[in-house]
Structures are given as structure tokens and as C-alpha cells.
Structure 1
Amino acid sequence: MMGSAASDPAADALEQPRHAVRVRSFAAGKFHVTRSEWAAFVRATRRATPLGCQWTGKEGPDGEKKASWNDVGFSQTDRDPVVCVSWQDAKDYARWISRRSGKRYRLLSEAEWEYASRAGITTSYPWKAGASHEFANHGTEECCGGLASGRDKWVNTSPVGAFPANAFGLHDMHGNVMQWVEDCFAPNYAQTPIDGSAYVNSEHIEATGDLADLNGKLTCAHRVLRGGDWAQQVRWIRSAARSFAPPPGPGPALNAYRSGGVGFRLARDVR
């Protein structure tokens, strides 16, 4: 069952109606793609590192304009998830890994991501207790900023595997960094497939309320983000929570949108 129950006090209109989805077998990475893994890709392909990344620790009026995956303005280890990568960056990495391995790696679909995140449960989080810094790296109770508390010793990103895995053996499905998925952004769940595949129809958006600024724009000018990040409130790290980028308003287009709170993990087809 995909989406949030009507009884969930944190439910958002983007997460409803709750609906049944059939997901085929697939493999998902235990961890986010790390800085060291991304660095190997950059070296092997001699890939340029563009500047410009939002939500970083870079200070000054031009701080974000100078930020990049290897200069985010806060401390990271090689085992931290790579951030400041665009949706197209993630796609290019998956394509490179596929060529090297002879297996098809890709981004998860939104439905696959939620299935993997829930790991067989129907509640908001895969642990019995409510959201806690003992189980995930997330932010303050008020938007928006990182918070170190308990097991969560990191104000910003944490090394992958620092928190317990869910029942499927996957780490950091909740918090740490948001994860790009394959899907174009559909404000209406009724538009999305029920066979577990990604929604990739480029259609004009019809939205109301806070998303009215998106009216008339194409769904595939935005891509879905899942999982919440180190600076977000607990409601954004629920299994059902949906986000997307780029956000409404002025700012970079999709292929130039990078954030210090956004990374990715890979999926692999299983025959």
C-alpha cells in the first residue's frame, strides 16, 4: 500500500489517496552512493565538477554559487553520502556502473522506493517507536536545520550505515540525505502507475494551493525526491513523504539543481 493513511496526523495531500501497487523483484543498494564511490566515477570519466549547490555550509553571499560535491562547506568522510549531485548526475553514474559491471543499474522508481522503505510495515517508520534520532539522522523540530542528538551525532550528513538497517537490510532510507528517484513529479497520485514502474509521462501540471506556481509546467521538469534529510523535520522522513526538485519559484532548472541534502542510491534489475 503506497501513500499515507487518512489517520496519519502528518499526512499531506500529495501522499493520498493511499493505493495498492504491485512491485516486481528488484535489488536496492544497502547504502547511499558515497563520496568515495562518486570520486572514483569522476576520476575514471574525467568528469567536470560544476559549481553551485544549495543548502550547504558555504558562507558568504556567493557561498552556494561556489559549493560543489567536494566542497560542501561542512565536514564529510569518504563514507558519507555524496551530495550536490543533480538528477542527471545520478543517471550518468548508474549508466557508468552498468557499463563496468555488465548489469543494469538504475534509479529506483518512486513505488519501489516506498516499498523498500517500508520493508513490510504499514506505519510511518520501520521501527516500533516514533521518529527518533536513535534511528535516523534528521533535523530540528522546526524548519530547518541539522541537530545532533543521541545516536545522531551529526549536524549534517552521517556516514552510511551509522544507523540500524530496516528489515530489508537497507540503511538510511529515512533521513541523512534525500534520494533522487526516476519519476517525474505527479502532484496527483491518480496519474502514477500501479505496476511499480516510474511515472515518466511529460504532462502539464494542474495544481492548487502551495503548488499553484507549478501550473502549466511539465511534470518531467521536476523529479521526485524521497527519504528526507539531515536538516528536515521528522514528518519529512516518513515512508509516505514526497518531495520534488527543483522547487517552485526562481532557481536552477532540473539538470542544474544540486543540494547539500540530496544524494541517491541505486537499484538493479533482478531476473
Structure 2
Amino acid sequence: MKLNKLSKLNKLITPLLLSASSSTVLYANENSSELIEPIMVTLPAGSFQMGDINEADAQPIHTVTLSEFSLGKYEVTVKEFRHFIEETGYNMPAQCIHQLNGWFNYGKTDGTWENNNLNTSDFQPVNCIGWQAATAYTQWLAKETGRPYRLPSEAEWEYAARAGTSSKYYFGNDPEQTLVCDYENTADLTGENILQRDSGTSYVNFFNGKSNCIDHSAYASIVGMYKPNPFGLHDMVSNVVEFIADCYKDDYNNANSNGQPWIDDVCEFRVSRGGSWHWNTFSVSQRGVMREDFVGAVEGFRIALDGASPAKSSNTKKFIKQLKTAQRSEKLRRDAMPPYPNKVTNLTLNQKDGLVILNWDKSPQTDIESYRIYRNAATGSTFKLLASNIVETTFKDANIDSHQYEYTVVAVRYHQQSDYSNTVKTQASWVYAPGRVEAEAAAELTDSSVGRTSDIDGKFNLTGPVGIGDKAIIDYQLEVTQSGHYNLSYRVAAPRDTKGFVVLVNNKELSIEKITNTGGYNEWQTQTGAKIYLEKGQHKLTLQSLDNNWKLNWLSLKQK
């Protein structure tokens, strides 16, 4: 995966998988010769402005004019994909990138398109396939039907997703993220409940957070469960990320104006479009990028075709009836779910002599069973469950280290928890020179987060979706016990040489520290920095990042 593009959103990928929320069972295999042509929607010829002034790789904004074409009404499902495998014996990947424990511990685990912890229904979008298998499916479908089915181009996808609108999403700008759950399966309160239950992780402080609504699906959803866009297409912005035909370019300079895909002689990276249940909603113009051979658990695809949609075959009509039955069953399950409790209000924190005391208002809902306390490992990291089955409205925590923590509280009813209360945090600690400064002891930090370290020493390190970000500001409360010159060193991990960071004291620049390649994010080195002069007293020590793709475990200030 292209490291310098990950921050874009991830642009890509970071998958996870555990158990899915749908309880619909798989349908039995049909005769493998019963090919299902996708349900297509004819899209009118037209022009639109492609791109986004807020996205560096989605510029320049340019006019694209497309002829009439058709696009899959839904993402390709497990059931449809099964016929391809049965007919061709295509050699599918036996491993898939799943999330193991927490957001940043990635690894390939055993799991295939039909045997993974995500899919519980034949009518969910197929995943764990990769771009190459998706393309092979379209080629097989084209050969079997005599129609030139293919992956959509990036321009076709954006035109279809916008559906004649000019807002951030086809359903409006939705700045409060309250509308999206009617239209898309995204990171929401349902997902937050299940993620905390299954993996002890959170959307809060992860990438772009979560929406402020409930979509009733924790992982991938049966296709077509939400409102369509104005073109009649479902799940265009979120359910699974969708593979695109184009090779990835860093911008739209010299992009085709007729909607044809951009294809290079050698194409190592492909474009992806849309988000997934795994992330908060992506705009219709946001681009993704991944290696052509990447196989992940939140990526799928839909089908494109030149011209008008063909008449529905008997197998397609049969599939539509079965899909409607699955959708109805899933809707009944969702309708039967009790409402989530209301948020806890007025959480406060008092701190004295190493003891944290939390208090909050009692919920006015009389059927609240208990409360749960969440705390993060350090400011900026994800919330972890600290205590459950609390029946009073107060909690004392004596198990704290010297760095800052944040706390939040939820109400529990029928095994469902409310959204988080307001957040409170402990006082920032002081770090000392001479001495070792743990990275997570920051009083304030931006464009970075705290994670468990893979180093041999220390509990946590600073990291992020692409390591520490290139705009990260990390502030410490520094107390210097003796004036003099101090030798700076730091414990870092980096997969490449980086521009490093600036060291400032009371906003005065003292040095610029470059970081050299350590061999990867899990290969740690102590690197030697500059000699700096520090006055006795209390100061603000700031590390200002100049690049991404690095992690910090600690830094040391030793007197010469």
C-alpha cells in the first residue's frame, strides 16, 4: 500500500473483522450453471464537474462528459460471485487482511470470500477478493453473456454517485452527520456498540470518527437496505469500498474528459471509491488507492456496462425475489431492536493525590440497568472499557499513571449502550530534564494518536494512520532542574527517511531533527539529536512534525 497516501483516508484500507451483525442465513448453492446477471440501472448521458477543491489529489476540477451507460444497482453479492467460482475454478486468495486486535495491528489471516467472519448472508457484498479477482469476474461475465461487462471508470463512478447533485454527499452536506444512516451503512452507534463488544476498540479518535445516527448494521449490510440515490443506486457511498478500473494518479492533470479510465502500461496501484462500514462517510469526490494485489476485508465492487441496461433474465428475476426475502427478514430484525439509551449528561472529574473521582447525572430513563466507564490509554487514543455494571453515579479510579487520561460514561439497557457522554480528562503531568520523556506524556497533541508500542521498552508510543502526521504538534510541560546544555536523543521507528521534526521551547526553535529509516514501523532505533541549551524552570516543549511515516516511543534529555 502506498504509504504516503494512507492518510488520505486511508485512503484505503484497514480492515478488521470479527462477527457480523446480520442474522440472515446463507442460501443453499444453486446449480452452478445458473448465472445471475447483475441488476443494472441505466444512467443518462451528461456532463458534470469532477473533483474537489478540498482534496489535493482530486484537482484540478474538470468537466467530464459521458455517454449513456449502466451501473449495478447493488454491489456484487456473495451469491452472484459464487457462480463465477463454481464455473471457472478461479484460484482465489486463501488469506485476507483482517483487523486483529485494535485498529493498527494488521495482519493477513486465513479467510476467503466465502469463509470469513464478516459475511453471514449470501446477499451481503462479496469481500476478501482483491482487484484482480473482481476484474476476472467481469471478464467471465462478459464472455458468458456476450455483453462487455467491466469495472466502472473513476469518472463513471463519481458521476453515478453524485447523481446530478453538487453537495458533499448526494443527500446533502450533512454537517452534523445525522442524515447519513438513512442512506448508507457507515460508522455509527450500532457499529460502536459491536466494536466495543467484540474487539474492545472504537471509532472515537480513529481516522474520521463516527456519524451521529443509527444505521442498524455493525459490519457489512445486505445490499439495498437503505434509501437509493437519485439515480436509483444503493450503497454508493458506504457499505464496502469499491474497486475501480483506473490506475491511480496523484491528481487529475491530463485526465480524460470523456469518462474513460486512466490506464498505464504498468499499474501497481488502482483507484478505489466510496467508504465502508469501517469508516465514517466519505464524500462523493474522495479518492482511495490500493495496490492491485491487495486483498482486504472491506473491499468489493459493482459492475458497469456501456449503453442501456439489458432485459432481466429469468435467473436475475429469481435472484431479485430471493434478495427481497432477505431484505425483508433483515428489516424485521432491525425493527425489533429496542432503541438505544439516551446519553449520560454532566460528567465531571476531580483529581487528588493520585485518585480520579467521576460523577454524572442519573439517567431520567427508569429502565437503565447500569453504567459503563470508558478510559483511553492516553489522550488521543481509543476508548477502552474500564468498568461495567456500575449502578451508582460515581466512580473512583486509583489505577492511573502520570500521563493524561480521558474518561467517558455510557448508560446500558437491554445489553445496548448509549452514545458517549461528554469527555473529561486528567491534568497534564510534568516531564523533567534531565530525564526521559515518554511520548504519550504530551499535554496536547494533534495529527497523531497513542498506541501500544511494539518496542522492547515502554507501554505506548505516538503513531497514527500513517504514523505521526506531517502536521502533528506535540506539546509537553517541561521542568528543567538545572540550566545547561542537554544532549537530545529519541527512540523512533520509520519505514523510510523522513524530514523529522522541529524542537521548540516556548515557541523558540532550537533544532531540526531528521529521522532515518529504521527498517519499518516495528523496527525501533535510538537516534542521536542535537545539543540544546535549556534554562532552569518550567517551559513548553514542542515537537512540530515535518513529515509522516514515523513513530515516537520516547525522547531523552541528558546533561553533558
TM-score by length of 1: 0.81
Partner residue, 1:68: 112
Uncovered stretches (5+) of structure 1, i.e. residues with no partner: 203-217, 247-253
The 1:191–1:143 alpha-carbon spacing in structure 2 relative to 1, beyond 3 Å, is farther
Uncovered stretches (5+) of structure 2, i.e. residues with no partner: 1-48, 188-202, 309-560
The 1:223–1:63 alpha-carbon spacing in structure 2 relative to 1, beyond 3 Å, is closer
Q: Is the CA contact (8 Å cut-off) linking 1:147 and 1:155 kept in structure 2?
A: no
The 1:239–1:62 alpha-carbon spacing in structure 2 relative to 1, beyond 3 Å, is closer
Q: Among 37, 49, 65, which residue is 2:92 paired with?
A: 49
Letter in 1 for 2:307: V
Letter in 2 for 1:194: S
For 1:81 and 1:57, locate their aligned partners in 2 and report how far apart those are by CA, in whole Å. Answer: 21
Whether 2:311 is the aligned partner of 1:263: answer no
Length, aligned pairs only = 239
Cα deviations across residues 151-175 of structure 1 (Å, max 9, x unaligned)? 5212210011011111111001111
Give secondary structure in 1 for the equivalent of 2:289.
strand
Partner residue, 1:210: none
Partner residue, 2:326: none
For 1:99 and 1:178, locate their aligned partners in 2 and report how far apart those are by CA, in whole Å. Answer: 26
Q: Among 148, 153, 160, which residue is 1:104 paired with?
A: 148
Deviation at 1:18, TM superposition (A): 1.4
Whether 2:240 is the aligned partner of 1:173: answer no
For 1:32 and 1:123, locate their aligned partners in 2 and report how far apart those are by CA, in whole Å. Answer: 23
Letter in 1 for 2:151: L
Instruction: Please state which structure has a larger fraction of its residues in strand.
Output: 2
Q: Among 91, 95, 100, which residue is 2:139 paired with?
A: 95
Letter in 1 for 2:302: R
For 1:259 and 1:190, locate their aligned partners in 2 and report how far apart those are by CA, in whole Å. Answer: 29
Ranges of 4+ aligned residues in structure 1 off by more than 4 Å: 56-59, 144-151
Q: Among 227, 233, 236, which residue is 1:164 paired with?
A: 227
For 1:157 and 1:228, locate their aligned partners in 2 and report how far apart those are by CA, in whole Å. Answer: 11
TM-score by length of 2: 0.40
Q: Is the CA contact (8 Å cut-off) linking 1:14 and 1:187 kept in structure 2?
A: yes
Deviates more, 1:61-70 or 1:177-186: 61-70
For 2:75 and 2:168, locate their aligned partners in 1 and report how far apart those are by CA, in whole Å. Answer: 21
For 1:16 and 1:145, locate their aligned partners in 2 and report how far apart those are by CA, in whole Å. Answer: 22
Percent of pairs with identical residues: 32
Partner residue, 1:152: 215
Give secondary structure in 2 for the equivalent of 1:53.
strand
For 1:194 and 1:178, locate their aligned partners in 2 and report how far apart those are by CA, in whole Å. Answer: 24
Q: Is the CA contact (8 Å cut-off) linking 1:186 and 1:192 kept in structure 2?
A: no
For 2:101 and 2:135, locate their aligned partners in 1 and report how far apart those are by CA, in whole Å. Answer: 26
> Relative contact order, CA 8 A, sep 6+: which one is greater?
1
Partner residue, 1:223: 270
Please give the residue correspondences for 1:111-260 in structure 2 after superposition, counting only pairs within 5 Å: 111-128=155-172, 130=174, 131=177, 132-139=180-187, 140=203, 142-143=205-206, 152-202=215-265, 220-234=267-281, 237-246=282-291, 254-255=292-293, 257-260=294-297
Q: Is the CA contact (8 Å cut-off) linking 2:92 and 2:129 kept in structure 1?
A: no
For 1:62 and 1:178, locate their aligned partners in 2 and report how far apart those are by CA, in whole Å. Answer: 18
For 1:148 and 1:123, locate their aligned partners in 2 and report how far apart those are by CA, in whole Å. Answer: 18
Deviation at 1:48, TM superposition (A): 2.9
For 1:146 and 1:34, locate their aligned partners in 2 and report how far apart those are by CA, in whole Å. Answer: 27
Give secondary structure in 2 for the equivalent of 1:97.
helix
Instruction: Please state which structure has a larger fraction of its residues in helix.
Output: 1
